[in-house]
Structure 1
Amino acid sequence: MIPNESILSYLNQHLNKKIADGNPSPIATYLDGTLLKASAGSITAEFEVRPDQCNHAQVMHGGIITTILDEIMGMTLITLKIEHLYVTINLNVDFLFGAKAGEKITAVSEVYRLGKKIANVEAKLYNAEGKLLAKSTSNLAATSIPVQF
């Protein structure tokens, strides 16, 4: 996979900073993650589970978990040489364990295949002890919207 050097350079200059800084995605602001690592085809980010992200059982809501995984998978594609933005066309999530408010969780993504029209990406969510909380796979389709950086 061919990295997009200028975007990777930008991301690596912003390690340990909020993902929302300079990111046009409003959902990135809501999720409030911190970028830990960026390489060609992979991103690692950390999030703190907030009370407003928990369900009635006081564990992180599955929809928020899904949103984190979807956001990180889409973001990972910009680390590669793409000309157009991609959008999710399907998403599969396995929820394995919960996380409570105040816990730190880490999302790790990897692009498995980048085609002209379809990309296949995987993301996993871990707790601070390294326990796998959720895993996801997604296929994303290229749009006609050019990448602007």
Structure 2
Amino acid sequence: MAPQHVQHLKEWMEQMNTFANQGDEDGLGFAHDCFGRSKVVDADEDSAVFEYTVKKSDCNFSDNFHGGAIATLVDNLTTAVLFTRERKYFKYGGVSTDLHVTYVSGAALGTTILVECRVTKVGAGLANTTAVLKDKASGRILATASHTKFNTDSRMGGGSKL
């Protein structure tokens, strides 16, 4: 674990948690709980491991981790891993162009999971990241994912809320 990478990532996640929890007349955003509930376990340049416990709000009608909640978590945490260090590009995280999740095994309400995220490549226009979600207790793989992001830095300029 590299302390500067952990600190940089934690600062960005705190910023995003604050931003997501501001809300407006329409309420909170769809990912308002993600950053606040995800704990950085380890981080290095271009990789991070997060811990996340499945709550009722993450579950389907049978109290299992919902696929949409998994996809949202993957979207947010594979974006977060871009902030393990300073970058020339992707200063604002970009927007998703492709998110592919393969669901391997279920996770019940209360399960603590580890989300291992990695940056595969970052260029001026696109970034590629991956994630593997595992049951912390057993090590069983729950899902794997790949995520492609498009760089929006030039569009964000001075008018960004971030």
TM-score range, shorter chain: 0.7 to 0.9
Show CA shifts across 1:19-40 (max 9, x none).
8534345266412111111111
Output the CA distance in 2 between the equivalents of 1:106 and 1:30. Answer: 17
Which of the residues 116, 138, 141 maps onto 2:150?
141
1:54: Cα distance to partner?
0.8
Structure 1: gaps (5+ residues) = none
User: Percent identity over the alignment?
Assistant: 24
Counterpart code for 2:14: D
1:35-82: per-residue Cα shift (whole Å, max 9, x none)?
111111111110111112110122011011111111111011122423
In structure 1, how many angstroms separate the alpha carbons of the residues matched to 2:3 and 2:124?
21
Match in the other structure for 1:101: 109
Aligned length, in residue pairs = 141
How far apart, in 2, do the equivalents of 1:25 and 1:68 lie? 16
Larger proportion of strand = 1
What residue in structure 1 maps to residue 88 of structure 2? Answer: 82
Residue 47 of structure 2 is aligned to residue 38 of structure 1: no
Structure number with the higher helix fraction is 2
The one-letter code matched in structure 1 to 2:55 is R
Say whether the 8 Å CA contact 1:11–1:38 is kept in structure 2: no
Partner amino acid for 1:118? Answer: L
Letter in 2 for 1:108: E
- Partners of 1:82 and 1:47 lie apart in 2 by 29
- Per the alignment, residue 115 of structure 1 pairs with 123
Q: Does 1:68 align with 2:73?
A: yes
Query: Taking structure 2 as the reference length, what is the TM-score of the superposition?
Result: 0.75
Deviation at 1:8, TM superposition (A): 2.2
CA contact (8 A) 2:6 2:42 kept: no
1:137: Cα distance to partner?
0.3
Indicate which of 55, 60, 63 corresponds to 1:58. Answer: 63
Q: Which AA in structure 2 matches 1:82?
A: K
Q: Does 1:21 align with 2:14?
A: yes
- Whether the aligned pair in 1 keeps the contact of 2:48 and 2:118 (CA below 8 Å) is yes
When the two chains are superposed, the root-mean-square deviation of aligned CA atoms in Å is 2.9
Is the contact made by 1:20 and 1:29 (CA closer than 8 Å) also made in structure 2?
no
- SS of 2:150's partner is strand
1:70-104 deviations in Å (ceiling 9; x for gaps): 11110111224234322211100001111111110
Q: Distance in 2 between matches of 1:77 and 1:111?
A: 7
